[in-house]
Amino acid sequence: MHQRHQQPIDENELVLRPGPGFTLAGTATPVMAPGLLAWRYLPHDFPPHTTVYGYFKEWERDGTTEEIHDTLRDQLRAKKGRRILPTAAIVDAQSVKASPNAPEESQGFDGGKKVKGRKRHIATDTLGLLLVLIVTAAGVQDSAGGK
């Protein structure tokens, strides 16, 4: 678990230094295309896709993206007059077909939906802010994925 920021994050703290105007608020998440993450199709004013991906990979590895997400969620909850830690959550799951390139062992069959692939288990707070996201084989029961 990462320590939470005590002070609100200033937008200027989120500026990455590799390129002018490159900010987290500028959404450096990849553009989704069928079956692939299209890092090469980032907006033209972003640094090279290899630089952006390098930051993404490092931040995922060291927990920076999770810390930023959690901090921003906590600040938004406080701004809305809510407790930082939610007392209720909304849990749901969705089965989706997996890419043909996905490893067979990461897939399963959801008999209820008749889908071979993966299942996303998502928990949000009552404001709709993401608390947890888990991806499992589609055969995992919703009750087990929600635990």
pTM for the whole structure: 0.63
Percent of the chain with pLDDT over 90: 24
65 and 27 in one domain?
yes
Kindly report, residue by residue over 116-139, the tens digit of the pLDDT: 888 888 899 999 999 988 888 888
Domain boundary among 42, 59, 79: 79
pLDDT tops 60 at residue 19: no
Residue showing tokens 């994050």: 9
Kindly report, residue by residue over 54-90, the tens digit of the pLDDT: 998 999 999 999 999 999 999 999 999 999 999 999 9
Domain boundary among 79, 99, 126: 79
Task: Give bridge partners of residue 31 from the DSSP assignment.
Answer: 38
| Spatial CB neighbours of 53, under 8 Å, sequence gap ≥ 6 | 39
State residue 146's pLDDT score: 67
Give the range with max mean pLDDT: 30-44, 64-78, 95-109. 64-78
pLDDT tops 50 at residue 34: no
Q: Compute how many other C-beta atoms are within 10 angstroms of the C-beta atom of residue 39.
A: 16
State the Cα–Cα distance between residues 79 and 73, nearest whole angstrom.
Answer: 10
pLDDT tops 70 at residue 20: no
Least confident among 46-55, 71-80, 96-105:
96-105
- Residue 113 included in any domain: yes
- Residue 54 included in any domain: yes
User: Considering its fold, how many domains does the chain have in total?
Assistant: 2
